[in-house]
């Protein structure tokens, strides 16, 4: 009898698809969906036609666990229900405007912006790009209130990357390459 299986997919920050089966349109009159945020969120309901076996729940809160109950209402008056827990994804703010400002001959000021405050911190990596120092990668964790740092004693060409750290994973970061030149090269004198 339906629902024998309830599953979720397409989980986003504010929506999730709930599916059930088997589909039994000849005996089920409708499906009644109830959902609320745990532990004590407001109860929401929706009714789905007997010919459908999924629905997209919208306007959910990000990074929240919901209890979802699918109830099959049969023509006989009987009902059968099954519940699942589903989690929406965290809001994933993108980093923006990564800027490297050289300071002296071997240091760089690293500055960035972020669009939200739900981060656990930042993962900073830097690596020399010349063949003599390639592969020498360094990294550091920075707390969530950091939006800049200074790196010192860097090789002449250094790739710097900043990635956001969310509750469940490290996000996609931004990278730039810092180039340092000797004073002679900076003024156009080459020997």
Tens of pLDDT along 151-180?
998 888 888 999 888 877 787 888 888 887
Average pLDDT over residues 15-30: 94
3-class DSSP string for 119-171: CCEEEEEEEECCCCCECCEEEEEECCCCCEEEECCCCCEEEEEEEEECCCCEC
Region for residue 4 given its phi and psi (left: phi exceeds 0; alpha: psi -120 to 50; beta: otherwise): alpha
Identify the burial level of 133 via C-beta atoms within 10 angstroms of its C-beta, where 0-12 means exposed, 13-18 middle and 19 or more buried: middle
8 Å CB contact between 30 and 60:
no
pLDDT for residue 188 is more than 50: no
Better pLDDT: 180 or 123:
123
Which pLDDT band, with edges at 50, 70 and 90, does 132 fall under? Answer: low
Taken in order 184, 189, 190, 191, the sign of the CA dihedral is negative
Percent of the chain residues topping a pLDDT of 70: 88
pTM (2 decimals)?
0.57
Supply the pLDDT for residue 191.
Answer: 31
**Torsion from C-alpha of 53, 60, 7, 50, nearest 10 degrees:** -20
Mean pLDDT of the chain: 86
C-alpha separations of 96 from 78, 112, 115 in Å: 55, 6, 8
User: Which has the minimum average pLDDT: 41-45, 130-134, 176-180?
Assistant: 130-134
């Amino acid at each position: 009898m339906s629902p024998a299986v309830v599953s979720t997919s397409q989980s986003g920050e504010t929506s999730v698809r709930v599916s059930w089966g088997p589909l039994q349109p000849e005996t089920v009159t409708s499906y009644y969906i109830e959902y609320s945020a745990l532990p004590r969120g407001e109860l929401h309901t929706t009714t789905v036609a007997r010919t459908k076996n999924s629905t997209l729940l919208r306007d959910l809160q990000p990074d929240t666990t919901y209890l979802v109950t699918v109830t099959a209402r049969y023509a006989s008056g009987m009902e059968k229900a099954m519940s699942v827990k589903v989690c929406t994804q965290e809001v994933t703010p993108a980093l923006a405007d990564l800027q490297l400002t050289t300071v002296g001959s071997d240091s760089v000021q690293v500055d960035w912006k972020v669009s939200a405050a739900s981060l656990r911190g930042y993962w900073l990596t830097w690596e020399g790009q010349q063949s003599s120092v390639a592969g020498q990668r360094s990294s550091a964790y920075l707390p969530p209130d950091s939006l800049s740092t200074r790196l010192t004693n860097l090789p002449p060409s250094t790739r710097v990357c900043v990635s956001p750290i969310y509750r469940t994973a490290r996000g996609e970061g931004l990278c730039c390459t810092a180039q340092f030149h000797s004073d002679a090269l900076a003024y156009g004198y080459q020997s």
